[in-house]
Amino acid sequence: KVLIDVPRSDLAEELAQSQTKIQVLQDTLQQVLDRREEERQSKQLLELYLEALKNEDSILSKVAESETVPRKEMDVVDTGTSSTGTSAKTALSDQILAALKEKPAPELCLDSQDLELVLKEDTQTLATALRWDKQKAEALQQACDQELSKRLQQVQTLHSLRSTSKGKKTLP
């Protein structure tokens, strides 16, 4: 960094080199510094991503544990009729339904567990709950399925990268 900041003429005089050679040297040093900074930022980003994955895994395991305990709202059986006649009983929370209705790309706003719930939901029940037609509900479920698949692919790629980097560390 110091060599880059020194005026070219002073450095050329001190090293008894031409200013063009000094310029090439300073440019090369700057490229090395830039590459190191990019590598540092990439490593930091990857560490944040890994931390997020760990947090998501721990949250999913906690949610899975809590789902083993029966919940009252899950015990309700949909008989196909309701007191209002317009609402459908779903396993989806009001928050998920609101996100599905209001967001332009709800599959990007929901976490993986919510995406799975949307996929497990009967298409007609989902359409009724959202007051949409069946085709729009099917399209939503397909988008959710694609997003979930994409996330799974990313996790698998990360695990592959992790195992590859562990394999390189063990080599002499």
- The domains of the chain are located at 8-65, 94-167
What is the per-residue pLDDT across 156-165, written as a single tens digit (0 to 9) for each? 888 878 777 7
Handedness of CA 78, 82, 86, 91 (dihedral sign): negative
* pLDDT tops 80 at residue 84: no
Give the pLDDT of residue 18: 92
**More confident site: 74 or 148:** 148
Q: Distance (Å, rounded) from C-alpha 142 to C-alpha 126?
A: 13
Give the pLDDT of residue 51: 86
Give the pLDDT of residue 108: 81
Q: By the 8 A CB rule, do 99 and 110 touch? A: yes
Say if domain 94-167 classifies as CATH 3.40.366.10.
Answer: no
Residue 92, classified by CB atoms within 10 Å of its CB into exposed (0-12), middle (13-18) or buried (19+), is: buried
